[in-house]
Amino acid sequence: MPQFDHFAAIASLYACVTYSKTSVMREIARLPVKGSLLDVGGGTGRVSLALRDLVDEVVIADVSFGMLRQSPRSTLKPVCGGSESLPFADSSFERVIMVDALHHVLNHAESAREMFRVLKPGGLLIIEEPDIRTFGVKLIALAEKLLLMRSHFLTPDQIMKLFTNGEKQIHAEDGTAWVVVGK
């Protein structure tokens, strides 16, 4: 049965929310860098836009056409597709990021494998997630369940364990966790 696209319904609101963690992401992702960045589950491109000047090219991959439609096509390259099967060749991107989207994907392990596959050797993959170990995020998780959003939050340790290869690190502050995987 086709799933209701919750994000298409709120896409225009989402596009108005500024990404507030640019400086942390910039430091963790070691930006600027020469080359391409892939923003998986990038939605309206609000995170990509904040990082756009720090790389040569940004590509957004998202399953929600409604979210992608709100992204500025002249500066970001939107591609409609799921993280479980990314339509890119192996080792295509210097940086791969996924912000606030891992808990929404259908299959965590396949998404992790795909994001690592399209990352270039020497590149960095950064997954930013609400930190489910904190009380506030537990409440958000409950609210998303009540809204039938099929969210499934993982702890930073569980996210790290999705990756069998690569160097891994966790950074956490103020209810947000970043898992960084180097290839």
Ligand X SMILES: C[S@@+](CC[C@H](N)C(=O)[O-])C[C@H]1O[C@@H](n2cnc3c(N)ncnc32)[C@H](O)[C@@H]1O
Cβ(105)–Cβ(42) below 8 Å: no
Identity of the amino acid at 34:
K
Least Å distance, CB 61 to ligand X, is 6
Residue 52: partners with Cβ closer than 8 Å, 6 or more residues away: 58, 75, 76
Nearest CB to ligand X, comparing residues 121 and 173: 173
Query: Coil, strand, or helix at residue 100?
Result: coil
**Binders in 93-112 for ligand X, by CB under 6 A:** 99-101, 104-106
Q: How far is residue 64's CA from residue 144's CA, in Å, rounded to a whole number? A: 17
Nearest CB to ligand X, comparing residues 22 and 134: 22
Residue 41 sits in the site that holds ligand X (CB under 6 A): yes
Contact string (CB under 6 A) for ligand X, positions 51-90, x = contact: -----------xxx--x--------------xxx------
Residue 47 sits in the site that holds ligand X (CB under 6 A): yes
In what helix (H) or strand (E) does residue 123 lie, and over which residues does it extend? strand 119-130
What are the backbone angles phi and psi of residue 33, rounded to the nearest 5°? -145, 150
Nearest CB to ligand X, comparing residues 82 and 123: 82
Cβ(33)–Cβ(53) below 8 Å: no
**Binders in 115-134 for ligand X, by CB under 6 A:** none
Binding residues vs ligand X (CB under 6 A): 7, 14, 40-43, 46-47, 62-64, 67, 82-84, 99-101, 104-106
